[in-house]
């Protein structure tokens, strides 16, 4: 009863102390991250292996099954799921909540390295990564155009927009969805290839031998020094057409004899559509400790500047915004909190019939709610649906 007695005897002290709680609580509130749910990441580790040209059956038997047999012996595994599709093996290992995610990832790397010799030599190295809940894009920008191609849109978005978005406070990375990267595509006529007794592997070997960048060293004299650049790599479709695949009886068989080369997209298997139109998407991934709403507001504030610099015929729209759901959910909880506070005050006044007695909770409830933000900030919590519901209770 020391604090109540002191507050009665020293009302000015009690008032100043309440104002200090409100001030510090407000400062803590402005620094709290805003999320839809608490930052709770289950210990999940993924293993992704790419085996180019392999069918789903080969991926299952030669890659996925070998890795699963090795990963099954790790301690603390809750469940393990795998997907084997053409060229890609994806294994997801979920551990028990008490398992440390860093230690679990190290165990997965150790198990994968032990069976690496049993996997095919032509596969890309397995990629082991921790799956985080915040690794999803909170907002997608859709770039579309009636005049530019997807290749041109991707090139512009990558060179002019992506870096500007990555420099915004709280942005971890920017994902390009449905991208089209420039690449030289070789189209082979199988009949003509068979007529020359060649295979696609012969074309690939010729590319490896002739399309290379070789360091040529330098030329030195007593007074000067020159760096030598060997222009041995191929850059245009005409140069690729002249690629010599094989020599038969002294006659060179070139790529133009069995097919053609043309500049196109490296990958055309993924596509993004917005409002029925083909588009290229830029997804903004926030940092784990960043304020979701603040990051989205920063991107939206930059959007008019991006629109002003777009080439003629190109447009950008917000294709998806997850912060709308977060903002509406938290706004609904805030309304519930205000309603609960008003109901408490009305009930007290209804039963006590005293304005003075009702004034006490009218002042102390807001002070307590704002002061609770001090402990939320100190303990590393965030403003989310669950913490706000706790304050309502």
Rounded to the nearest integer, the mean pLDDT of the chain is 85
pLDDT-based confidence at residue 133 (cuts at 50, 70, 90): low
Decide if pLDDT at 378 tops 80.
Answer: yes
Q: Tell me which of 109 and 217 has the higher pLDDT.
A: 109
Q: What does the pLDDT average to over 313-323?
A: 87
Nearest CA among 133, 115, 126, 120 for reference residue 91: 126
Decide if pLDDT at 37 tops 80.
Answer: no
pLDDT of res. 1: 60
Q: What does the pLDDT average to over 354-362?
A: 82
pLDDT of res. 183: 85
Q: What does the pLDDT average to over 204-232?
A: 79
Q: What is the pTM of this model?
A: 0.71
Decide if pLDDT at 249 tops 80.
Answer: no
pLDDT of res. 387: 83
Q: What does the pLDDT average to over 91-97?
A: 88
pLDDT of res. 179: 84
pLDDT-based confidence at residue 238 (cuts at 50, 70, 90): confident
pLDDT of res. 23: 92
Decide if pLDDT at 272 tops 70.
Answer: yes
Decide if pLDDT at 213 tops 80.
Answer: no
């Amino acid at each position: 009863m020391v604090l109540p007695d002191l507050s009665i005897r020293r009302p000015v002290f009690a008032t100043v102390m309440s104002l200090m709680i409100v001030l510090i609580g407000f400062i803590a509130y402005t620094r709290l991250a805003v999320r839809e749910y608490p930052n709770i990441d289950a210990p999940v580790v993924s293993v992704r292996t790419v085996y180019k040209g392999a069918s789903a059956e080969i991926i299952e038997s030669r890659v996925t099954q070998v890795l699963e047999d090795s990963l099954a012996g790790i301690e603390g595994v809750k469940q393990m799921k795998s997907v084997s599709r053409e060229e890609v093996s994806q294994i997801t290992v979920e551990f028990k909540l008490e398992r440390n995610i860093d230690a679990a990832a190290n165990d997965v790397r150790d198990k994968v390295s032990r069976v690496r010799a049993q996997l095919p030599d032509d596969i890309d190295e397995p990629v082991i990564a921790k799956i985080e809940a915040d690794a999803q894009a909170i907002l997608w920008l859709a770039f579309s155009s009636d005049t530019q191609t997807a290749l041109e849109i991707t090139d512009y978005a990558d060179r002019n927009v992506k870096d500007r978005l990555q420099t915004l406070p709280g942005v971890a990375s920017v994902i390009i969805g449905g991208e089209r990267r420039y690449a030289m595509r070789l189209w082979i006529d199988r009949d003509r290839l068979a007529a020359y007794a060649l295979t696609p592997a012969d074309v690939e070997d010729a590319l490896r031998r002739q399309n290379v960048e070789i360091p040529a060293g330098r030329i030195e004299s007593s007074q000067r020094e020159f760096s030598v650049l060997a222009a041995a790599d191929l850059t245009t479709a005409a140069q690729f057409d002249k690629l010599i695949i094989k020599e038969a009886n002294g006659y060179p068989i070139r790529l133009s004899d069995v097919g053609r080369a043309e500049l196109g997209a490296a990958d055309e298997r993924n596509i993004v559509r917005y409002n029925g139109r083909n588009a290229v998407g830029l997804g903004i991934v926030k940092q784990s400790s960043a304020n979701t709403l603040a990051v989205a507001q920063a991107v939206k504030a930059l959007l008019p500047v991006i629109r002003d610099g777009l080439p003629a015929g190109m447009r950008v729209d917000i294709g998806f915004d997850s912060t709308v759901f977060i903002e509406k959910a938290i706004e609904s909880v805030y309304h519930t909190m205000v309603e609960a506070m008003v109901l408490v005050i009305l009930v007290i006044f209804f039963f006590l019939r005293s304005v003075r007695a009702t004034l006490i909770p009218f002042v102390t409830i807001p002070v307590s709610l704002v002061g609770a933000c001090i402990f939320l900030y100190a303990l590393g919590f965030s403003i989310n649906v669950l913490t706000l519901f706790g304050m309502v209770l």
